Structure 1
Amino acid sequence: MSAGIVALLDDIAALARMAAASLDDIGAAAGRASAKAAGVVIDDTAVTPRYVTGFSPQRELPMIRRIAVGSLRNKLLFILPAILLMSQFLPWLLTPLLMIGGTYLCFEGAEKIWHSLRGHETTGQQAAQEAVEGERTQEREDQMVNGAIRTDFILSAEIMVISLNEVANEPLLSRAIILIVVAIAITALVYGVVALIVKMDDVGLYLADKKSGAVATLGRGLVTGMPKVLQALTVVGVVAMLWVGGHILLVGTDELGWHGLYGLVHHLEEGVAAAVPTGGAFVGWLVNTAASAVVGLIVGAVVVAVMHLIPSKKH
């Protein structure tokens, strides 16, 4: 009897070790998948704060919570089942789907640059007029939240497809678990950071009013610095869109058999990395990133021209 119990305990211990190893593998794979989607995550974090700008401070966090719930619903209920089925039965569609999403990111980044150069940014007078007309009612809040969730759907789809592409060789159940972990972790990260960014000026006001000395100075610095942080985030978001979109297109063309462009970029990256004795790998990565951003800008500019310039000439 004792021998049987010992054998049973050994089996349980072996199963526990296997389960722990599986969890470690899933955690590592989820980490790799999340890292691959980092550029889109940065863009998602940079885009969202503008949807709650202009509302009362009391409504900012509830709005962010509603957007986060909508984002998680997008990922888990709609995007995840669709891409899992596709990866199981139509895996050859993943690369073209990624490239379509990458082209959209390039278009978004180039369009933001185009509008910035054209001076189409909303003026203070226009913003004030919109605030008076909208009066920030519940209906207006619902419109902004729904708009944010729709925008998030595209970015979430790109995050999930990029993540899936990283773990495409895993079994179906492992893929599903990894993507669920990625969806929850990235949603919590993005909207946690968004909430922190949005409320940072309120924290600064509190410190400036209630405290003194260095703490009050820190508070005033937060109040004056947050608009610059938000502006910098906008720039980072645009660069991230061009970089990620361009890199997706480079890798996609290589996987589809058109090796020339990706081969050239890879050759430049390796050459620079080998020529720099210290930090060569990082410098090589910068070369790859810059080349990807250039490709993204060129592709995005072509799409912007097709979508905006050519139709206007017809009129």
Structure 2
Amino acid sequence: MSVGLIALLDDVAGLVKVAAASLDDIAGQAAKAGVKAAGAVIDDAAVTPNYVHGFTADRELPIVGKIAWGSIKNKLLFLLPAALLLSLFAPWVITPLLMLGGAYLCYEGAEKVFHLFAPHEAEQHEASLEPASLASTSLEDQKISGAIKTDFILSAEIMTIILAAIDVENFWTRAAILAVAGIGITIAVYGAVALIVKADDFGLLLARKGRTQTGRASGRFIVKAMPGFMQVLSLVGTAAMTWVGGSIVAHGLYEFGFDGPEHIIEAAAHWAQAALPSIAGVAGWFATAAVDFVFGLVLGAILIPIAGYIIAPAWRTIKHALPRRA
């Protein structure tokens, strides 16, 4: 009896070691895959604070929390199973879906640029897409909804990059790595966003209650610097949205045999690396991002009238044709 118990305990210990090794491997693979998606993660962190800008301090963290929860649901409930199933049964669908998402990002980025240079015309365009709600919480709800939609596309890119970087055959291990990486990235992104949007409140507290002159001066500097920093971050977020969308569409076109945009992007990167060999990697990245941005901006500008005169009227017609709920 005692020998059987010892053997059973030995088997349990062996299973625990295997499980621990598997968990360690999952965590390691998730971290490695997350690094490969760093570019899209940075874009996500830069874009999100735009949706919190303009609200009172007491609503900032709740809004970030709602967007973060929407991001978790995007990744775990929709994108993770979709990515795994599509990779198994219809891998050819992934690229067209990503291209649609990239085109949406280009449209969003171009619309923000349009609003910057022609606010009146941009507001008319936005009003033509969907009638505004009169509910008191409509602006907050619309901002959260818009942020979650944008996060869905950026998260789709992140999850696709992670899936491509996973070097594991087992289906469930791949699912676990995707889940761990997705949750970890969401915590990192929205933790950073929460710190950014509350930095001015921290600065104000430090300016008022700092124990030293240096601490109070630092608080005043943070308070004065944050409006400019948020403006810069807003511009970076718009640029990031546009260049990520342009990159997705250009790469998708390349996979379908339309390699013109991809060749221009590669030529720009090689030229920048040759012109600045001491910082070749950084120069190549900036050149690639710049051409991606221009390509995405042009595509988005083309999509603005298409959205206003074709997609929105068609969508309204479909909605009116559907039976209304009581």
Alignment map for 1:150-229 (pairs within 5 Å): 150-166=145-161, 167-168=163-164, 170=168, 171-211=170-210, 213-229=213-229
**Which of 29, 49, 64 does residue 52 from structure 2 map onto?**
49
What CA distance in whole angstroms lies between the structure 1 residues aligned with 2:306 and 2:191? 37
Q: Is the 8 A contact 1:45 1:193 kept in 2?
A: no
Deviates more, 1:111-120 or 1:68-77: 68-77
Q: Is the 8 A contact 1:46 1:236 kept in 2?
A: no
What CA distance in whole angstroms lies between the structure 2 residues aligned with 1:224 and 1:121? 32
1:262 is displaced (CA, Å) by 0.8
User: Cα 1:98–1:43, aligned 2, differ >3 Å: closer, same or farther?
Assistant: farther
**Which of 13, 25, 28 does residue 24 from structure 1 map onto?**
28
User: Cα 1:89–1:146, aligned 2, differ >3 Å: closer, same or farther?
Assistant: farther
Alignment map for 1:244-283 (pairs within 5 Å): 244-283=244-283
What CA distance in whole angstroms lies between the structure 1 residues aligned with 2:174 and 2:214? 50
What CA distance in whole angstroms lies between the structure 1 residues aligned with 2:143 and 2:178? 22
Partner of 1:258: helix, strand, or coil? coil
What CA distance in whole angstroms lies between the structure 1 residues aligned with 2:304 and 2:184? 33
1:296 is displaced (CA, Å) by 0.7
| Aligned alpha-carbon RMSD (Å) | 3.3
Question: In structure 2, what is the equivalent of residue 130 of structure 1?
Answer: none
Q: Unmatched 5+ residue regions in structure 2?
A: 123-133, 312-326
Question: In structure 2, what is the equivalent of residue 91 of structure 1?
Answer: 91
Residue deviations 1:110-136, cap 9 Å, x none?
1111111113499xxxxxxxxxxx9xx
Question: In structure 2, what is the equivalent of residue 284 of structure 1?
Answer: 284
What CA distance in whole angstroms lies between the structure 2 residues aligned with 1:26 and 1:197? 26
Partner of 2:257: helix, strand, or coil? coil
TM-score by length of 1: 0.78
Q: Is the 8 A contact 1:160 1:179 kept in 2?
A: no
1:173 is displaced (CA, Å) by 2.4
What CA distance in whole angstroms lies between the structure 2 residues aligned with 1:64 and 1:22? 28
Q: Is the 8 A contact 1:67 1:145 kept in 2?
A: no
What CA distance in whole angstroms lies between the structure 2 residues aligned with 1:176 and 1:190? 21
TM-score by length of 2: 0.76
User: Cα 1:30–1:176, aligned 2, differ >3 Å: closer, same or farther?
Assistant: farther
Q: Is the 8 A contact 2:107 2:300 kept in 1?
A: yes
What CA distance in whole angstroms lies between the structure 2 residues aligned with 1:54 and 1:42? 18
Partner of 2:105: helix, strand, or coil? helix
How many residues are aligned here? 291
Query: Amino acid of the residue matched to residue 119 of structure 1?
Result: P
Query: Amino acid of the residue matched to residue 290 of structure 2?
Result: A
Question: In structure 1, what is the equivalent of residue 141 of structure 2?
Answer: 146
1:239 is displaced (CA, Å) by 0.7
1:10 is displaced (CA, Å) by 8.5
Residue deviations 1:230-255, cap 9 Å, x none?
11111001110111111111111111
Question: In structure 2, what is the equivalent of residue 61 of structure 1?
Answer: 61
Question: In structure 1, what is the equivalent of residue 131 of structure 2?
Answer: none
1:204 is displaced (CA, Å) by 1.8
**Which of 24, 36, 41 does residue 38 from structure 1 map onto?**
41
Residue deviations 1:51-92, cap 9 Å, x none?
xx333x334323432332233223222333233322322111
1:220 is displaced (CA, Å) by 1.6
Partner of 1:54: helix, strand, or coil? coil
Query: Amino acid of the residue matched to residue 24 of structure 1?
Result: G
Q: Is the 8 A contact 1:243 1:293 kept in 2?
A: yes
1:17 is displaced (CA, Å) by 5.0
1:97 is displaced (CA, Å) by 0.8
Question: In structure 1, what is the equivalent of residue 128 of structure 2?
Answer: none
**Identity %, equivalent residues:** 36
What CA distance in whole angstroms lies between the structure 2 residues aligned with 1:62 and 1:291? 37
